Structure 1
């Protein structure tokens, strides 16, 4: 009898140890294999919010690189299911106030971020400078504006704006992905109306659990992130 009890106790302890190890590993790992089961935790936001507008810039050439970005095989907004559920709530609040969402980017594969970094390091390619970084050199973009590891690759961050009921984007005082301090949420150069528009978006997102990024009025991250230490690399398709 004692032998059986000891054996059962050891088995339970073994299961507990394995579970604890799995949790610890999950908190610090980086997953890049698209075959991983983690991909199934991401949802296509258009299936949840079909009335939102989707202008996925990195699928097209309308972005600061000037061409489609690696890893975007479809113009989709993918988010981890927890962030997606919160976005549904935010969109409902926006609709009640008479607005809609126009979404620019969501989950971003690591290979897309690598594409950005290669572009930054190519000093000969400056064709988008006038539109996206008129007051900065490319050597000033890495860090605050373009990171070698992006929070978007974790699956809980989204770039978006508000539109009116006719689909016209509200005047936010700067373009999406404008690399300049004028894109800071509280930049003093924007008008009162432009600041009010930025705060309409900010307050809607805050109420749904998203944290803003002060340097980019369009950038929000749902908290808590499902994978705060993970940078995924499966393609958007």
Structure 2
């Protein structure tokens, strides 16, 4: 995958972003549960996410759009598995980086904004995905729930770019497309073969440019997936949301 570097004026790097810790009175007996760093168990609800260090990304930057794929039936499972959760939550450090990436994008292209399709994901949902694809070639696109996805820690985000009028930029495939056409490592080949257009590849590069500039890392098999810290560091330091 091609790496890109992006430099802005130092003043832009000193963004003043205030963490937001949401509260909710909603309680449900069968909600998924989250572990704190101290090993305590909390109900996975918006009331508990703030104290656990998770932030609503739109509280940091209201311009970021959120359309969670797994809160609707618009996903490969054709099932809404997030219950009533509609907000995108990340660990504070990841949320700050995402807001920074959107600021960079706005400087370059004021008519564009980031759109989040997935952020914090309970491990029970990863298990559902893994089971649904069990035995198929597509299973390699889903993290083994035994080890956990970086989404389960709140440090991964699935993101694309949209115009302020709501029209998404053409990236060549939708998010959650299981196939080589979605893999950044093959973009140059598909461009030469005519399976991806110059515009589609340029749009992907723009996304990588602003995300990398903000401190995210990409992966070679999904153009939309970015991680805020090194995987090994995350797994050593943080607990997963169950």
Which band: TM-score by shorter chain? 0.7 to 0.9
Q: How many residues align?
A: 189
Where 2:76 maps in the other structure, the secondary structure is: coil
Alignment of 1:69-218 (within 5 A): 69=81, 71-98=82-109, 99-121=112-134, 139-148=136-145, 149-185=148-184, 186-187=186-187, 188-189=189-190, 190-218=196-224
Distance 2:155 2:219 in 1: 13
State whether residues 88 and 120 of structure 2, in contact with CA within 8 Å, keep that contact through their aligned partners in structure 1: yes
Identify the range of structure 1 (104-113 vs 160-169) with the bigger mean alpha-carbon deviation.
160-169
TM-score by length of 2: 0.71
Deviating beyond 4 angstroms after TM superposition, the runs of 4 or more aligned structure 1 residues are: 29-32, 35-39
Select the structure of larger CA radius of gyration.
1
Bigger relative contact order (CA 8 A; separation at least 6):
1
Distance 1:30 1:212 in 2: 30
TM-score normalised by L of structure 1: 0.72
**Partner SS state of residue 228, structure 1:** helix
Over 3 Å counting, the alpha-carbon distance change for 1:166 and 1:37 in structure 2 is closer
Runs of at least 5 residues in structure 2 that lack an aligned partner in the other structure: 1-36, 191-195
With over 3 angstroms needed to count, the CA separation of the structure-2 counterparts of 1:158 and 1:30, relative to structure 1, is farther
Unaligned ranges ≥5, structure 1: 1-28, 122-137
Residue 227 of structure 1 aligns to a residue in which SS?
helix
TM superposition shift of 1:76:
1.4
2:234 corresponds in structure 1 to 227
On the 8 A contact 2:182/2:221 being kept in 1, the answer is yes
